[in-house]
Amino acid sequence: MPVLTLPDGSQRSFAQPVTVAEVAAAIGPGLAKSALAGRLDGRLVDTSHRIEADARLAIVTAKDAEGVEIIRHSTAHLLAHALKELMPEAQVTIGPVIDNGFYYDFACRPLTPEDLAAIEKRMGELAKKDFPVTREVWSRDQAVEFFKSIGERYKAELIEAIPAGEEVSLYREGDFIDLCRGPHVPSTGKLRHFKLMKVAGAYWRGDSRNEMLQRVYGTAWAKQEELDAYLHMLEEAEKRDHRKLGQQLGLFHFQEEAPGAVFWHPHGWRLFLDLIGYMRQRQEAAGYVEVNTPDVMDRALWEISGHWHNYRDHMFTTQTEDERVFALKPMNCPGGVALFKQGVKSYRDLPLRMAEFGKVHRYEPSGALHGLLRVRHFTQDDAHIFCTEEQMEEECRNVVALILDIYREFGFAQVRIKLSTRPEKRIGSDATWDKLEAALSNALDRMGMAYDRFPGEGAFYGPKLEFVLRDAIGRDWQCGTLQVDMNLPERFDIHYVAADNTHRRPVMLHRALFGSLERFAGILLEHYAGALPLWLAPVQAVVMNISAAQADYAETVAKKLREAGLRVDCDLRGEKINYKIREHSLLKRPYLVVVGDQEKAAGWVAVRSRDARDARGSPDLGQMSLAELIERLTLERAGKGVAV
RNA sequence: GCUGCUGUAGCUCAGUCGGUAGAGCAACUGAUUCGUAAUCAGUAGGUCGCCAGUUCGAUUCCGGCCAGCAGCACCA
């Protein structure tokens, strides 16, 4: 006689065991139709699940996040169903739900976009047939036997990994049957708003030593509008692609002779220099000194640091005539340590915060390269903080506070923190790792910061914090990092003289706030869709004349703006004003300053803003005095935001 | 690195079922001097990513390489 408690607190009792679907029907016909699954005492179950005892029950529909996940999961099965019908020789493997969609991996011949279209069409047909999706429970051995018998060896392998004697669930829709934990939608007719996105290779069990499978990605939603909105978001993201913007705005380029290396054009380099200048100022204020160390150093140094052992294959090396093997530095830390070793350091020198805008070189696998976001030669806003064990936690807190404040100034309000702990491949004792991991987690706890743990993901010499920021369209980017390290100090045998005149080992913090300057510049471009706020815009205003008669006045205006410290171009070409406005607007210049006879006579300027709108919603802000314009721009630049 | 796809003028792209290529924009020249997102006309511009092979003939077909794109793997 089950008594069921619904989410609103009301209770319903039934004379006999009931299914979730029957409960939904008892509540109302609308709910019966939209029910996708049930949440029974917190556990997701199919609508066909029979409830025998008292429980808390919620009917899951497409309005719930879980409902959408079930739709995605079931759509993955529908994909496998359709593909098996079209290609019976294909073998199925796994098909999980991911952000915004799902994928399914198959062992089959390489799929083409035409295949994808055909599969999608078949999925639509199968959905329309509204096959019931039914759950069956088999013994593990029976399931292994079955999948082997139909030639599904990947599936059989997966089930064999389940402990013997356990039962497994299978789901059947039409002629298709698949191993799955479930739950699934009650019938394929619930799957309506989906689209296959792309196909690509993926390794079996995610291991590059294994064979490559065909992975089909898809997206699925509860409503057509949501699917449309998602596709629209992807289009927007494409427009923000920093590689495209870099081309359009003339910021940088890449070419075949230098894979993974940036050719910075003047305007791009302006941004790069501004980022360094900003960081330099912030670091100086935070008590750092800046240094510079060699780019090419003897292999012996990298053997001491452990990089040679761990990353030799990813290092650029060079052999000179005298047979010495040098490496282009893949990290700045050994150089920093070498500087620390110069002279005798006292506890009074600590903490010693040593910053370096060092360019590092890493031979990244060719497939990893991606615009500015993943390059082989990049500049870190690196720093090494040498301190005592007692100072380490406070120094960590200082770094965290500095990072968060800087991200905020760049317009990133949402930042997530990841704590990565000791990896399998590491140097140093467990006792040391205990101390280091505690320093990071204590620092965060003391600051009341939330963070996620990633066991085994730390660097080989120490655990690390990683700072992940969320951009304007909700994408996450990993940027800053903070690592604590007692291992390199030991390997390089560095020490300081303590107050009691004994020699002690300092702790080393490695930190980078932007991470890679190149990457951060790329992220900024995507975040702002190329429309950099005034303080970062390579060209902040363009002065343009309407006709030749005002050329001299336009030059005077440009000169005065430059004297106020603004970066200003002057366009005196004999083109129509519409043409000039279009061109400079496409270049996303924040301000266009138009001067014609009226302005020249009155000594004024007409201002058009990229971001701001007047009361009528027009970007044309009308006439103002030059002093007013300078004040406006100076204020906006100091505020670091975008104009409104 | 792996799988698949792509590489034609400065940019965006069309084209050649094998007979050495075309548009728009940009550039250059001339005319136009114009009030808030493209004025008109003309000129010039390419060893069709690179190297081999098949062929009377390859940008097109085959193979190798390089680079890029998507995903996977990697990311000190």
Distance, angstroms, CA A103 to C1' B63? 35
Nearest nucleotide (CA of A212 to C1') = B3
Contact A590, A609 (CB under 8 A): yes
Enumerate the nucleotides of strand B whose atoms come under 7 Å of any protein CB: 1-5, 7, 11-12, 31-39, 66-76
| Residue A63 pLDDT | 95
Question: Nearest protein residue to B73's C1' (by CA)?
Answer: A208
Q: How far is the CA of A261 from the C1' of B65 (A)?
A: 21
The secondary element (H helix, E strand) that includes residue A388 is none
Q: Is the CB of A451 under 7 A from strand B?
A: no
A301 touches strand B (CB under 7 A): no
Which among A512, A257, A253 has a CA at the least distance from the CA of A383?
Answer: A512
pLDDT of A401 reads: 97
- The torsion of the CA quartet A182, A183, A189, A195, rounded to 10 degrees, works out to -60
User: Is the pLDDT assigned to residue A556 strictly greater than 80?
Assistant: yes
CB–CB of A171/A134 below 8 Å? yes
A276: number of Cβ within 10 Å = 15
Helix (H) or strand (E) holding A161: none
Say which nucleotide is closest to residue A213, CA to C1' distance.
B3
In chain A, positions 306-325 with C-beta closer than 7 Å to nucleic chain B are: 307, 310-311, 314-315
Its pTM stands at 0.94
Number of DSSP helices (H) and strands (E) in chain A, helices first:
20, 36
Interatomic CA distance for residues A427 and A499, integer angstroms: 29
Strand partners, A600: none
Q: What is the pLDDT of residue A641?
A: 80
Query: Smallest CA–C1' separation from A204: which nucleotide?
Result: B72
Determine whether the distance from the CB of A548 to the nearest atom of strand B is below 7 Å.
yes
Q: Are A91 and A234 in contact (CB under 8 A)?
A: no
The residue type of A464 is K
Establish whether the CB of A488 is closer than 7 Å to any nucleic acid atom in strand B: no
* Backbone dihedral angles phi then psi of residue A7, each to the nearest 5 degrees: -55, -30
Give the whole-angstrom CA distance, residue A269 versus residue A430: 44
Q: Kindly state the average pLDDT of the residues A286-292.
A: 98
Between CA A484 and C1' B23 the distance (Å) reads 59
Is 80 exceeded by the pLDDT of residue A442?
yes
Residues 609-638 in A having a C-beta less than 7 A from any atom of strand B are: 619-620, 623
Please answer whether residues A400 and A482 qualify as being in contact, where contact means their C-beta atoms are separated by less than 8 angstroms.
yes
Q: From the CA of A54 to the C1' of B23: give the distance in Å.
A: 74
Average pLDDT over residues A566-578: 96
Mean pLDDT of A304-329: 93
Answer yes or no: is pLDDT of A577 > 80.
yes
Question: Per residue in A580-633, pLDDT tens?
Answer: 999 999 999 999 999 999 999 999 999 999 999 999 999 999 999 999 999 999
Work out the pLDDT band at A644, boundaries 50, 70, 90: low
Q: Is pLDDT at A571 greater than 90 in this prediction?
A: yes
Q: What is the pLDDT of residue A112?
A: 87
Q: Is the CB of A592 under 7 A from strand B?
A: yes
Binning pLDDT at 50, 70 and 90, where does residue A165 land?
confident
Q: Which residue has the tokens 């500095």?
A: A402
The neighbour count for residue A405, using CB atoms within 10 Å, is 12
3-class SS of residue A362 = coil
A597 touches strand B (CB under 7 A): yes
Across the range A383-388, mean pLDDT stands at 98
CB atoms within 10 A of CB A552: 12
Residues 188-247 of A with CB under 7 A from strand B: 198, 200-203, 206-208, 212, 214-215, 217, 243, 247
A182, pLDDT greater than 90: no
Q: Tens digit of pLDDT for each residue in A244-263?
A: 999 999 999 999 999 999 99
Q: How far is the CA of A580 from the C1' of B40 (A)?
A: 17
Does strand B come within 7 Å of the CB of A139?
Answer: no
Q: Is the CB of A262 under 7 A from strand B?
A: no
pLDDT at residue A1 greater than cutoff 80: no
Give residue for tokens 């730390």.
A458
The string of pLDDT tens digits covering residues A30-62 is: 999 999 999 999 999 999 999 999 999 999 999
Tell me the three state secondary structure of residue A449: coil
What residues of A act catalytically?
A: 333, 362, 380, 382, 384, 464, 510
Q: Is the pLDDT at A24 greater than 90, yes or no? A: yes
